[in-house]
Amino acid sequence: MVKENQLKLHNSLTGQKETFEPINLDNVGMYVCGPTVYSNVHLGNVRTFMSFDMIYRYLKFLGYKVRYVRNITDAGHLTDDGNVENDRFVKQSKLEKLEPMEIVQKYTVDFHKVLEKFNLLPPTIEPTATGHILEQITLTEKLINLGLAYEVNGSVYFDVEAYNKKGLNYGELSNRNIEELINNTRDLDGQGEKKNPVDFALWKNASPAHIMRWSSPWGEGFPGWHLECTVMSTKYLGDFFDIHGGGMDLKFPHHECEIAQAKGCNGHEPVKYWMHANMLTMNGQRMSKSTGNYILPMQLVNGENDFFEKPFHPSVVRFCFLQAHYRSVLDISNDAMLASEKGYNRLMEAIKTLDGLTTSATSSVNIQDWVNKLYAAMDDDFNTPILIAHLFDGVKMINSIKDGSETITASDLELVETTIKGFVFEVLGLQAAEEANANTEKLDGVIKMLIDMRLQARADKNWALSDQIRDQLAELGIQLKDGKDGTTYTF
């Protein structure tokens, strides 16, 4: 049964906080745009997926039955509608000398490993673009028949002006004026084969050299990037569902195009609440490979980087990320991570203290008021920084009970324990201190012991044993790196 709460969330479509009222009582349909699996998942992407993991967790915590759909983009992600050579999968497959689907498999596995490391719950459905080619073709045909798309040289484009002439308002999510978009873009890009430069690809004709290709009524080709999410979200959640989420960078053009495709086909809004998570910066600057201000998620965990003085456990990283509101820009730095580690340890130490507290006949603290504040924080657009501040009020309260300056009854102590553990472990998704610290230290000790054994084997010229240790660790996902300063390892 769903807890009766006044949950409010920020709807990007209206720009307002709105009371959350699911379309179907006690059931929630949520779609989040997943990764494009042509490279390792970025740390900023992890923050986005962690934000929606927190939202998913809280909805479940309240008692909702949630169908959470997060897709895998494994085809058709063009950086430029006009140039099929900008297909990211094709470019990466040439770079790594692998088949495109080998690229997909390699980085899908990496994506899942990283998210599991940071304790993200898997979605209930994780569909792929290549698994829904027929549905994308069908949707494209429907848009053509409705006069909202047109074919040119084997490619099909969505006709934005035709859409707007029906009063459907392309640009409503990002508050962009279609006439300004057309005028500002025409001089820069030229018309090409599109009627207007703001038109976007539904299906692209594949050149003879293009590897990823499927048969269609318009010849061999591949789907445009925006089409898959409309197809998969409506297939698994219906043509009107509760929540659609993603990074702020997807608001335009991706989510704008999704709305246009769905409204064009069905004549109404596809989503009740649009939600967007903000970006991640490091040391006050945007993270970018080109500037060198860049770090992979696992490099933050294993310490293999030049930005942070030590490795940080995934739960410490998670705690750091959730100290900022999901709609705020989050900046990470060495000092911020060290402070988060201290705060995380304080929180976990307080939870461990609960078992040893002495109860009294009366409580000198108002536990229900504290519990209400925790729910109120999360009910205010999933305000995790306020939630964490109230959790630390609970830490002070626990420590005061421990030193005897406050008292608590047995029933109130039980309420404190179930509540704080519920919000810390179930909602925030943190792991217990003994899991986060002791297990890491034990594993580090075992690996270092094996590294020492391998070094001794090499000194004894026992190359077979040396290679065996290295290869068996590699099979477990642990890579040894020999350098001038000794042997290190990464996951």
> What whole-number distance in Å separates Cα of residue 487 and Cα of residue 142?
59
> What whole-number distance in Å separates Cα of residue 469 and Cα of residue 447?
10
Hunting for tokens 């029933």 — which residue is that?
411
Q: How far is CA 148 from CA 55, 136, 264, in A?
A: 35, 15, 7
* Residues contacting 419, CB < 8 A, separation 6+: 371, 374
33 is in an annotated binding site: yes
Q: Is 480 exposed, middle or buried (0-12, 13-18, 19+ CB in 10 A)?
A: middle
Buried b (16+ CB within 10 A) or exposed e, 234-271: bebbebebbbbbbbeebbebbbbbbbbbbbbbeeeebb
Within a 13 Å sphere around the CA of 166, how many CA atoms are in the beta-carbon half?
16
Query: Using an 8 Å Cβ cutoff, are 381 and 8 in contact?
Result: yes
Query: Using an 8 Å Cβ cutoff, are 490 and 114 in contact?
Result: no
SS3 of 152, please?
A: strand
Hunting for tokens 């490795």 — which residue is that?
311
258 is in an annotated binding site: yes
CA torsion, points 102, 105, 110, 116, in degrees to nearest 10?
-170
> What whole-number distance in Å separates Cα of residue 89 and Cα of residue 39?
9
320 is in an annotated binding site: no
> What whole-number distance in Å separates Cα of residue 108 and Cα of residue 37?
6
Query: Using an 8 Å Cβ cutoff, are 479 and 489 in contact?
Result: yes
Within a 13 Å sphere around the CA of 232, how many CA atoms are in the beta-carbon half?
27
- Type and span of the H or E element at 70: strand 65-70
Give helix then strand counts, H and E, for the chain: 17, 15
Query: Using an 8 Å Cβ cutoff, are 432 and 351 in contact?
Result: yes
DSSP 253: I
Binding residues for ATP: 289
Binding residues for Zn(2+): 33, 229, 254, 258
Binding residues: 33, 229, 254, 258, 289
